[in-house]
Chain A
Amino acid sequence: MEQKIYAKIVKYVLVVFIVSVFFFPIYWTITMAFKPHMEWTSSAGKIHWIPKKPTLTNFTSLFQRKVSVVSPLSSTAVRPIVNSIIVSVASTVFTMILGTLAAYGISRYKVAPNLPFMLLGLRMIPLAAIIVPIMVLWAYVGFVDTAHGLIILYALSTLPFAVLLMKTFFDEIPTELDEAAIVDGYSNWGAFTKFILPLAKGGISSTALFCFILNWSDFILALTLTDRKWSTIPVYLDKLQSGYVGKLYGPKAALALIAVIPPVIFGLLIQKYLVRGLTFGAVKK
């Protein structure tokens, strides 16, 4: 169905405009990360579209213990970055193990059919609503401001995705394969590990990356349950929001860039599965 040429041009202009608008905040953050102090703000309506004197000091200042830059915290960005990496990776591994096993059981043996729905229900409740009792428990068992404390909660919060997504991937593998393996003499576990898991490799890696992105992006759990030792990047960014430090757009933009690079890269890698992930497996392209 061919269309008139002028309609095509109008549509294209719209697309360019809309995409530019959506790209602008990213562009601004990228350029801000390289702008020197003078160019951070635009007074009298003048915008610095491109840094006139691009510099790397914003990035370096994040990692130097310069009292003038990051006091009152007098701490660098190193620990939060390391914490984010450790906690996100560990919780992803944890939730993937639990979730994949459970998804296989639900998909093949029809056990616990209500578990997926209960997990979905978990995602419906604002975390802030249940975080007080969790905090009480965590304080009681001494899990506050610990790695394992955060990892367990992160794993729980992304468990719904792990289970639901892996279930859709397992459902796509015909059961005849399991049956063939069992007829060949493999145990249930053997059939699972040697035949089905390798076939689900694509699903596993995309679900894992998806859960990683979610864990990495968490804010409120880390905000409430960590303090100095185990805060993650978002919490650190928030701590920099107040007072004099709040106006230091350059280093904060640099930190923002560092923070978003892993999720953006992983997100683009698993583009194909994003819709499936974000709709809990309801929509599969």
Chain B
Amino acid sequence: MSTKIEQKNTVDKSAIKEGIKFGTLMVLPAQIMFFTVLAFPLLSGIYISLTEWSPLTSGGLKWYSAYKFWSGLSNYWNLITDKEFLMALFRTFIIVATVVPIEFFLGLFIAFLFLDKFPLKKVFHTVLIIPMMIVPAVGGFVFYMLFQSSGAVNGILSIFTSQPVEIVWLQHDVLAIIAIICADVWQWTPLMFLILLSGLMSLPEDQLNAAVILGFSNWQRFRMIVLPLMKPVFVIALIIRGIEAVKIFDPIWLMTSGGPGTATETISVYLYRHGFVMLEWSWIAAAGYIIFILINIIAAFALKLIKEKHREAA
């Protein structure tokens, strides 16, 4: 009897080992791809950031001779106090802090409208989600076109003010940012709408009905039942959109190339311009690491906040 049990245990153990071997093989290609393609850039990035090398300086593209232009941590020190860099970070913050709340609340509002039945609902729903499938660079071009001084936005404003409107949106610091915000809100509000609508429709119907029968008014039900139940979806939607918004590049580059001057230069535009127009590679390698560290700090902070909220609720 006992030998049979022992046999079964060893058979199971070897089957498990086989399984783990197989699983490891399955993950291997992806891991290899991930680590090899990223390993070299991550390491060489550190190396380059500690120099003042650029393909424009002598040596051309021979990165390994970058040590000839060793500069230690000076890139990092200079970046932290560099006005342009800090302004780029600041502009990114402004745009994200404007765009994400607008998209969130507008998306939520539209989602509530779509909870009822109405004629042609499916058609409207389909049309509404098309903007987020548009190639972002193309979206940038479309809004470039719309915000021209002889474009559709001015045309429509002219109809409303019954006077010819010829605002040169994209040549004006603040107006260009507004145009870019419009482009982003247009493109991504449908995404928030989709996520939030999906969340609202998955709310447990019985809990909502129970609240009605207990005498909750619509507002009380919204505040005490709907909002708390939607919190996880809210958090996911805001995080997803927030992370992507920080990276914003395509529409800005197509609409203003960061201009006029640097008025619409967010962090991605800054990195691209200094990296690939001015070819300041070591400068940007250092900047990349600073941003990497910044994002890690923010993420750790956000995670801590989320964990604390979880502990509070429990």
Contact = CB atoms under 8 A, between A and B. Distances in A.
A119 B191 CA distance: 22
Given A132-B285, A241-B144, A274-B129, A159 B30 contact: yes
Interface string B161-193: 001110000000000000000000010011100
Nearest to B156: A47
B142 A241 contact: no
Interface stretch (A52-60, A65-73, A120-128): A120-128
B97 interface: no
Contact of A126 (B127, B156, B271): B271
A279 B27 contact: no
Interface in B1-57: 15, 18-20, 22-27, 29-31, 33-34, 37-38, 40-42, 44-45, 48
Contact of B30 (A3, A98, A135): A98
The residue among A12, A97, A112, A219 with the most chain B CB atoms within 10 A of its own CB is A219
B101 interface: no
Contact of B131 (A11, A22, A234): A22
Q: Interface SS of chain A: helix, strand, loop or mixed? A: helix
A11 B281 contact: no
Interface size on B, as a range, is 35 or more
Contact of A28 (B18, B110, B146, B233): B146
Contact of A22 (B20, B45, B128): B128
A109 B61 CA distance: 44
Contact of B275 (A41, A104, A131): A131
Contacts of A259: 135, 138
Interface size on A, as a range, is 35 or more
A25 interface: yes
Nearest to A263: B133
B130 interface: yes
B306 to A, nearest CB: 13
Contact of B26 (A22, A104, A129): A104
Given A15-B114, A41-B148, A238-B253, A137 B40 contact: yes
B202 interface: yes
Contact of A124 (B116, B198, B299): B299
Contact of B288 (A12, A19, A129, A241): A129
Given A219-B250, A234-B250, A25 B146 contact: yes
Contact of A105 (B24, B141, B269): B24
A90 interface: no
Interface string B97-114: 000000000000010011
Contact of A264 (B134, B240, B289): B134
A18 interface: yes
A4 interface: no
A45 B154 contact: yes
Contact of A156 (B33, B271, B289): B33
A137 B133 contact: no
Given A25-B142, A274-B194, A128 B186 contact: no
Contacts of A41: 148, 150-151
Contacts of A237: 137-138, 141, 254
A29 interface: yes
A220 B135 CA distance: 12
A134 B36 CA distance: 11
29 contacts: A22-B189, A24-B152, A28-B152, A46-B158, A47-B152, A99-B30, A102-B31, A109-B19, A111-B26, A118-B34, A124-B243, A126-B246, A126-B247, A126-B249, A126-B291, A128-B268, A128-B271, A130-B38, A134-B41, A136-B63, A137-B41, A188-B18, A220-B249, A260-B134, A274-B194, A279-B236, A282-B236, A283-B236, A285-B201
Interface of A: 1, 3, 8, 11-12, 14-16, 18-19, 22-26, 28-29, 32, 41-47, 97-99, 101-102, 104-106, 108-112, 115, 118-119, 122-137, 139-140, 152-153, 155-156, 159, 163, 182, 188-189, 213, 216-217, 219-220, 223-224, 233-234, 237-238, 241, 249, 252-253, 256, 259-260, 263-264, 266-268, 271, 274-275, 278-280, 282-283, 285
